[in-house]
Amino acid sequence: MAFTLKPGQVSQIVRTPYGYHLIKCTGVKPPPTFEEAKQDLRQLYQRMYFKQDQQKYLAGLESEVHFTQHDSVTSLLWAAVDSAESHKDSSWTARISPSLGAATVMSIGGRTVSVDSLVSLLKSNPAMQTAKPTRLALADEAQKISENIVFAAKADLLVHTDPMFASLMNQYADGLLLYQIEQDRVWNSVAGNDSLLHIFFESHRDSYTFPDRVKFSQIHLLTAEDAAAAHRLLKGGMTMESIVTYDSLRLRSPDMSSVTFGRHGTALTRDAMKTLDGIGKQMNVDGAMSIELIAHVDTIRRVADSTLQASRQAAIADYLTRTQGVGAGRIHRVEQPLPAAHDARTRKARAESGLRIDIRAMGRRPVVNGRVAAFVLADSADARARVADSLAAGDCSAPLKYGDGYVIVRLDGREPARRKTYEEAAGEVSSAYQELESKRLTDEWMKELRSAFPVVEHREVLDQALAQHP
């Protein structure tokens, strides 16, 4: 029904097993192009047709190379290993008799594969090192081995019937042989011992030096707001190390604290101000942190008690805003009813709750990303090193955008240019020695090859050919 409609049309009532429906055509989408549908078609083919086509192709190859799987021998093999009690190689093949081991399980052309040969291939297969040697697992791996044998036989046929394929295989074999010879003649002989590397280092001493360098420390911060807060703390006298320590302690501090007032009072005590100063400092460091001021209200005397508690909340909010610069939008006020008084203990708890405002910290997160990190870099290595080079020893920079966040750097000292010690240059020395030695060995090898297999260049023929085809 839907495919008979034009855009904007609504169908008649349609009945289905799920009920009655009205269908409206909102638009017509043309079928995808081949390029648009190619990925979906590939996945559909893989899911529905690939396995069948692969089996047909393998069956054709098996017939072409005269491959035979001897099912009766295969059944005897699986029966011998199926009941193995251990997964170790020494036990799962223990029940294979010598006569069964010598039996032919596969044949291809005039060649045969014995049970012992198949078992040896199965044991050397990495997939079987940890897998349980069940009949299903072994049969699956044996099938893969038989497929590889069939493909190898087909490749042997192609070498004799397809000149291009034969040439390609010869080039491949020659390349592998050349690579192995080069490994033996050059790379396996390059590695130098410590004495040779020391001699090489001393003979190239001036090549391994440090330029003028700066030693600096840094703290990493994720946002500009965090960087500005850390910078304020540094200007206020804190060190990078103390900021990191404070940030860690702040995250581990309790989420709940409280401020206690006198009976019917709204004035903040010294202890209350000290508590609020600590909370305000945390909020100035962590711009994402907010607080709830929780007032416990007597529901029996709700109006009077609510007014008193609201005044206390206002006193706390005013103090944080006025003395700590905390934005009013980060201070939230909530009320909770006092618990019912059933005995002396609950009456005492009720009386204590009515004298305080609880403060819940919310949204805390780390401001400093990691610890204080130390670096020794050339004074022009990167933006951090250049900023550090502009500072006096012990001074800290303004926040600097760097990588995925911001950094503040502190100049710890300077190191003038100097020669590297052997230990400092060891990696460079080893790499340079290997490069130089490999070139020397390669040159010697090529000299031997040219002597054994001289090549005569007829440059006049090449020049004549180039002259004819400018």
Q: How far is CA 451 from the centre of its chain?
A: 52
HSE toward the beta carbon, residue 86, CA cutoff 13 A: 8
Q: Place 80 in a pLDDT band, splitting at 50, 70 and 90.
A: confident
Domains in the chain (CATH in brackets) are 65-161 (no CATH), 256-362 (3.30.1330.60)
Average pLDDT of the chain, as a whole number: 89
Q: What is the pLDDT of residues 313-323, one digit of tens each?
A: 999 999 999 99
User: DSSP states of 240-300 as a string?
Assistant: HHHHHHHHHHHHHS-SEEEEE--TT--PPPHHHHHHHHHHHHHHHH-TT-EEEEEEEE-ST
Confidence of residue 341 (pLDDT cuts 50, 70, 90): low
Lowest mean pLDDT among 75-84, 227-236, 273-282: 75-84
Task: Note if the pTM is more than 0.85.
Answer: no
Q: Give the tens place of pLDDT for each residue, 143-158.
A: 999 999 999 999 999 9
Q: What is the pLDDT of residue 349?
A: 74
Helix ranges restricted to H, 371-458? 383-389, 422-452
Specify whether the CB–CB gap between 385 and 378 falls below 8 A.
yes
Of 136-145, 300-309, 357-366, the poorest mean pLDDT is in 300-309
pLDDT of 395 > 60? The answer is yes
Strand partners, 357: 259, 295
| Whole-number pLDDT of residue 302 | 62
> Is residue 339 scored above 80 in pLDDT?
no
Q: pLDDT tens digits for 291-310? A: 999 998 877 666 667 888 89
Confidence of residue 83 (pLDDT cuts 50, 70, 90): low
Is the Cα dihedral 429, 435, 438, 439 positive or negative?
negative
Classify strands 331-337 and 290-297 as parallel, antiparallel or unpaired: parallel
> Which of the pair, 349 or 142, is modelled with greater confidence?
142
pLDDT in tens, 179-209: 998 888 888 887 768 888 999 999 999 999 9
